[in-house]
Structure 1
Amino acid sequence: MNEDTINNNVGSIRISNDVVAIIAGVAATEIKGVVGMSGGITGGITELLGMKNLSKGVKVEVGDKEAIIDIFLVIEYGSDLAKIGKEVQENVKASVENMTGLNVVNVNVNIQGISMPKEQKPETEQK
């Protein structure tokens, strides 16, 4: 587990990559139109993950004072993908920087899928 270490005159503070990933995942799902996080492409299968495991759809590279974040999302059908992608980038960057003090260099948004609306079954007519 990689960690970011911040040294000060009292001691050091370590921030786990997993913590940064969870912050980024929560920030991404706050954006309207984001249905969920995608587990990325693992063996050719992309799975939709719920709120319980937000760090699975996030890859984080943390340096001494900087971070690069890759996010894998599933977006609601009919949404403006470019607009949602930009909002996710801005929200993730702001949230991670505010909570960790790291400088977020890049937030790469990867839209892995579109969630189609569920068709409502027509009610059968009773005779």
Structure 2
Amino acid sequence: MEQQETVMREDKNNLGSIRIADDVVRVIAGLAATEVAGVAGMSGGVVGGITEKLGRKNLSKGVKVEVGEKEAAVDLYIIVEYGARIPEVAAKIQDDVKNAIERMTGLKVVEVNVNVQGVSFGNEFNEEDNRVK
């Protein structure tokens, strides 16, 4: 797979250019999203009707970005924890991802779309198994 790089800005004193790969923006967005309370993990998408839950090791999964010279748009696919207020979690993700990308890269984030792909029930299954014994 070809790695795409985006020129962010040219140095005014002709020392060269700064290039940031799209994968870097994906990782920043993924990390910012997974740090929000209520996010169980990122979703790699729906394959065969089953949503694949991914851990912190692959933070760019579940994140799509479009990066221009000065702006970026982000689509996130997440799994929320059972009991979390989805609108509040999604709004916090939008704020945190936007701030992280803008602070670290200097790009202006024009949109952050949050797609909830599933709900994680955590340890509830273990509690039910203990009760049935």
Do Structure 1 and Structure 2 share a fold, with TM-score over 0.5? yes
The answer for the alignment partner of 2:23 in structure 1 is 18
One-letter amino acid of the counterpart of residue 7, structure 1: E
Partner of 1:88: 93
8 Å contact from structure 1 (residues 4, 65) kept in 2: no
| Pair 1:110-2:115 in alignment | yes
Structure 2: stretches of 5+ with no match in the other structure: none
Q: Which ranges of structure 1 fall in alignment gaps of 5 or more residues? A: none
Structure richer in strand, relative to its length: 2
Corresponding pairs, count: 125
TM norm structure 1: 0.92
Q: CA deviation at 1:45?
A: 3.4
Query: 91, 108, 130: which is aligned to 1:122?
Result: 130
| Distance in 2 between residues matched to 1:18 and 1:124, nearest whole Å | 46
Query: Residue 56 of structure 2 corresponds to which residue in structure 1?
Result: 51
TM-score by length of 2: 0.88
Kindly provide the CA deviation profile for residues 7-52 of structure 1, in whole angstroms up to 9, marking residues without a partner as x.
1122101100000000000000110000000002345432000100
CA distances 1:81-107 after superposition (whole Å, capped 9, x unpaired): 000000000000000000000000000
Which residue number corresponds to residue 7 of structure 1? 10
Is 1:64 equivalent to 2:66 in the alignment?
no
Does structure 2 conserve the Cα–Cα contact (< 8 Å) formed by 1:3 and 1:62?
Answer: no
Q: 1:65 to 1:43 in 2, by over 3 A?
A: farther
Q: Which runs of 4+ in 1 moved over 6 A?
A: none
Query: What is the identity percentage for the equivalent residue pairs of Structure 1 and Structure 2?
Result: 54
